[in-house]
Structure 1
């Protein structure tokens, strides 16, 4: 079985260790791709959130009729309520995720190396551990952003309160519920996203080795 060092050498330029990685390009490209995906999918997230919290009198409204109402009332900006807050918080959260993922993977590879497992198995374990811990670390930032952004998404809709931006939401939540108010659902988020991140990255890492071989 190949060691972690020999794996890296055999994969040449395809496998790049954390210490060899160009951090600036890594973060800029990673944040840029994530921002692009967020821009494209944010209206869908907003529609989903509004439909989930709709009062009884509007619960039967479908997505297309909801889009028409939003565009008629607020224009295209209505589909991006809370986007500034999301992107401001999500970029550092994504940096935390990527940093934790890559550094943990390196440590995990070294941990499993003495067990002399196959390359796909080693990759699955190391990537799985990295994905799980990266998700756990990033939830510390993602959850408060979700709490604030979701309140902005539904403000003034179906009887919900209105706010003057993300800072106003955060200050009012802190005033009423304290810091715990910004972390509502944190446990459930960890239970949902950490295992799914572990499975995703484990599958990704092992599939890479199988394809390369």
Structure 2
């Protein structure tokens, strides 16, 4: 098999492993990111990650933690084909001579190049996923706002409404149909700039740190004899570095992608950044950081382990 085909198959297996392990954490992250700042005197819908898990399971069952998984699962082959294949081709371009391993600096560059390419697939996929994941918390926030403005007589009815998850979309295809009707094909690429601002430095950090940790554990550039435990550790650390380096950008991306098309709250990435800072301070840029970090370590460890095992089995 050619190297591109091997990267395609190995990346797909790694992507599926990452998705299955990490999606529930991602759902909680998006719910925390997308909940608006509470009105004066009111508590936020979710007090934290565990509260978001409890409310989601109570309202939607365990399946609610996997809401929005259809879109990334359906595109995981294409996503990882681009990510790992472009990274593999970048390695070929950057390599000084055949068979010589890339330096850690070159691994950072290869990861950044893969991040540019994958952004164009990640943006529409993330948009569908985020709008599915966030619809419950957004609907409840709207109900809470209605309660605050409608007066005492409407309190009981509005509270009952707030406790119910209002389902606007039946699935990723339904989301895509609504987006296309509202904003055309361009609507699917809403948030492309912050997506790229996340994927380029994030993948540079992830692949670069992954290679650096492997070399540290192996005691040199030859990492071919590393055990599975070392690969898991390197993948987990690499994934954690991805999110540590780009998390505020991911928050901006999420709020822009769930924003209304007809009456948007944000005019762009900079406007979203400023409004989040003004209303919630720096901590607003780190909403959902705990679940993101809790997800990144096992999910990326699973991804890299599955990739390495599949790649080595293909020869």
TM-score (norm 1): 0.73
Residue from 234, 255, 258 that aligns with 1:154: 258
Is 2:217 aligned against 1:108? Answer: yes
Alignment of 1:170-189 (within 5 A): 170-189=273-292
- Over residues 16-47 of structure 1, what are the superposed CA-to-partner deviations in whole Å (9 max), with x where a residue is unaligned? 2536x7x2xx5554334333333124222212
Correspondence for 1:38: 119
Correspondence for 1:141: 245
Is 2:206 aligned against 1:97? Answer: yes
Aligned partners of 1:82 and 1:153 also within 8 Å? yes
Aligned partners of 1:18 and 1:106 also within 8 Å? no
- Over residues 126-184 of structure 1, what are the superposed CA-to-partner deviations in whole Å (9 max), with x where a residue is unaligned? 3222211111122113321221111001112699x610111111111112222211111
State the alpha-carbon separation in 2 of the partners of residues 208 and 171 from structure 1: 44
| 1:13, distance to aligned residue in structure 2 (A) | 5.3
Cα RMSD after superposing both structures: 3.1
| 1:61, distance to aligned residue in structure 2 (A) | 4.0
Aligned partners of 1:86 and 1:149 also within 8 Å? yes
State the alpha-carbon separation in 2 of the partners of residues 176 and 197 from structure 1: 33
Is 2:191 aligned against 1:87? Answer: no
The verdict on how the C-alpha distance between 1:60 and 1:175 changes in structure 2, with shifts beyond 3 A counting, is: closer
What stretches of structure 2 of length at least 5 have no aligned partner? Answer: 1-96, 140-164
Correspondence for 2:305: 202
Count of residues in Structure 1 that have an aligned counterpart in Structure 2 = 189
Correspondence for 1:124: 228
Aligned partners of 1:109 and 1:123 also within 8 Å? no
State the alpha-carbon separation in 2 of the partners of residues 69 and 60 from structure 1: 9
Is 2:272 aligned against 1:169? Answer: yes
